Amino acid sequence: MIQVLMVEDHPLVKEGIMAILADEEGINCAGHFYNGTDLLYRLKSFQPDVILMDIDLPDMNGLELCKQVKALYPAVCVVALSINNQAGIIKKMMENGASGYVLKDAAQHEITEAIRTVVKGKQYFSRSASLYLRKADTGKLPPLTRREKQVLEKIADGLTNPQIAEQLFVDVSTVNSHRKNMLAKFGVQNTAALIKLAIKENLI
Amino acid sequence: MIQVLMVEDHPLVKEGIMAILADEEGINCAGHFYNGTDLLYRLKSFQPDVILMDIDLPDMNGLELCKQVKALYPAVCVVALSINNQAGIIKKMMENGASGYVLKDAAQHEITEAIRTVVKGKQYFSRSASLYLRKADTGKLPPLTRREKQVLEKIADGLTNPQIAEQLFVDVSTVNSHRKNMLAKFGVQNTAALIKLAIKENLI
DNA sequence: AAAAAATTCCCCCTTTTGGTGGAAATATAT
DNA sequence: ATATATTTCCACCAAAAGGGGGAATTTTTT
């Protein structure tokens, strides 16, 4: 019997998965939590085979939660669950130790398939998740540095180079350099396109 | 017995709602569809009391589907179901004849409450939906005109005023006027902030 | 310790954006 | 038919962004 814990803050989705797992032979949903804190507490006394983990949680980031869980209990397999189809997120989640990624538009059987696959030590991606991963490989985005991200956020907030320079205690020319670097990195023509891309790719 | 039909393309959410309704006295889920076309076909031979309708459907827009359903069968109550918390969408959905709006982060009982409420001819909003509506009333966004939206999209694509002018066959000064009008409308300082706001508010 | 990357700053110059304040011609709604 | 809103355009001017290129100083990685 495969023991499963679930972290999912959407009651409707929770019920759906519960219903699917209840019908399934050999899989037992041993508990459900609405946030990461509760899960971490429960893990102290009980380690399941698999954790189904929503990455959009009220109290903490799924990426962070996954990393913590794997650091404390490396044997536990994490299957990420998300409406988020950003390829970047999927990749980061896998880097943080997740064994599978199932989008919420997945078919019923993909949930149980994912669980059965990851306990065997393999990785699993739902159909739609792998679609996005493939797209990501072709059009992978160059990473932003810490400073660039800071500048980018301030640009998105509507600050001008002089204003950003003041806030970051650097020269205007520095801010301008970062801005131009980012334009070049992403191959966009101006700030408008940069902001759009950044938001669509979940960078800000 | 309240007869319910459901249109929902996410199997996980579908299962969740099915499970909730199955446990409920006096409510019968008489059918489920993965798209709007199938629902419309079914409605020819059977009209339920309530339709639970996801507004993000694969084949058509929920707003449009709701309008069509209400035009054909005014007696049927529509409860919109969405992960989308944009206040503008909620409002538009209600204008199109929906009787209720339940966000997918709603608690279980909110689904059944919604169904029982709308059949009595009242409106129902899930807790989180009404939160967003309240926010919308205080910080409501000025509407964009058709032309402004066109210009906005081209700005977001990284086009400059001269390029947009060429594409729309108008003078650069016209495009500039639209751009400046939008900045003023939304009370933002520059294009970067405009694009961010537009994307966050689902205008583009 | 050496190599690579990130952060910082500089130059010059052109284009674009944004602020102010108009005004006329079409559409759209009442 | 008459308001109202939209779309179109104008001028002037200051500020900001963007393109090209270079370079020194930290940090981080190997």
Q: What is the pLDDT of residues A150-167, one digit of tens each?
A: 999 999 999 999 999 999
Per-residue model confidence (pLDDT) at position B85: 64
| Cα A105 from Cα B171, distance rounded (Å) | 45
Nearest to B58 by CA among B78, B33, B41, B79: B33
Per-residue model confidence (pLDDT) at position B171: 94
Q: What is the pLDDT of residues A184-200, one digit of tens each?
A: 999 999 999 999 999 98
Asked whether residue B41 falls in the same domain as residue B132, the answer is: yes
Handedness of CA B151, B192, A198, A178 (dihedral sign): positive
Asked whether residue A128 falls in the same domain as residue A151, the answer is: no
Instruction: Show which of A122, A138, A154 is a domain's final residue.
Output: A138
Asked whether residue B123 falls in the same domain as residue B72, the answer is: yes
Neighboring chain A residues of B107 at a CB cutoff of 8 Å: 11
Per-residue model confidence (pLDDT) at position A155: 95
Asked whether residue A74 falls in the same domain as residue A127, the answer is: yes
CATH of the domain at A188: 1.10.10.10
Cβ-defined contact of A189 to B107 (cutoff 8 Å): no
Nearest to A26 by CA among A146, A116, A153, A122: A116
Asked whether residue A122 falls in the same domain as residue A64, the answer is: yes
Answer whether residue B105 shows pLDDT above 90. Answer: no
Q: What is the pLDDT of residues B150-172, one digit of tens each?
A: 999 999 999 999 999 999 999 99
CATH of the domain at A39: 3.40.50.2300
Nucleotide nearest to B146 (CA to C1'): D6
For residue B108, what are the contacts with CB-CB under 8 A and spacing of at least 6?
A11, A12, A15, B20
Mean per-residue pLDDT of chain B: 87
Instruction: Show which of A114, A138, A162 is a domain's final residue.
Output: A138
Asked whether residue A122 falls in the same domain as residue A160, the answer is: no
What share of chain A has pLDDT > 90, as a percent?
52
SS3 content of chain B, % helix, strand, coil (to 5): 55, 15, 30
> The domain containing residue B161 runs over which residues?
146-200
Counting the structural domains of chain A, the total is: 2
Optimal mutation site among A12, A191, A203, interface B, most CBs of chain B within 10 A: A12
Asked whether residue A24 falls in the same domain as residue A81, the answer is: yes
Which residues of A lie closer than 8 Å to B, measured between beta carbons? 9-20, 83, 104-108, 111, 155-160, 188-196, 199-200, 204
What share of chain B has pLDDT > 70, as a percent?
92
Asked whether residue A93 falls in the same domain as residue A168, the answer is: no
SS3 B53: strand
Per-residue model confidence (pLDDT) at position A62: 83
Q: What is the pLDDT of residues A77-103, one digit of tens each?
A: 999 888 766 666 777 788 788 888 888
Per-residue model confidence (pLDDT) at position B49: 95
Per-residue model confidence (pLDDT) at position B133: 62
Identify the residue whose tokens are 């309704």.
B21
Cβ-defined contact of A12 to B17 (cutoff 8 Å): yes
Asked whether residue A34 falls in the same domain as residue A130, the answer is: yes
Mean per-residue pLDDT of chain A: 87
Asked whether residue A118 falls in the same domain as residue A167, the answer is: no
Covered bases, chain D (protein CB within 7 Å): 5-11, 15-23
Cα–Cα distances (Å) from B201 to A89, B140, B198, in that order, read 22, 11, 5
| Cα A145 from Cα B100, distance rounded (Å) | 45
Per-residue model confidence (pLDDT) at position A59: 81
Asked whether residue A60 falls in the same domain as residue A155, the answer is: no
Instruction: Show which of A116, A138, A160 is a domain's final residue.
Output: A138
Asked whether residue B124 falls in the same domain as residue B181, the answer is: no
Neighboring chain B residues of A158 at a CB cutoff of 8 Å: 188-190, 192-193, 196
Judging by beta carbons within 10 Å of its beta carbon (0-12, 13-18, 19+), is residue A140 exposed, middle or buried? exposed
Q: What is the pLDDT of residues A30-62, one digit of tens each?
A: 999 999 999 999 999 999 999 999 888 878 878
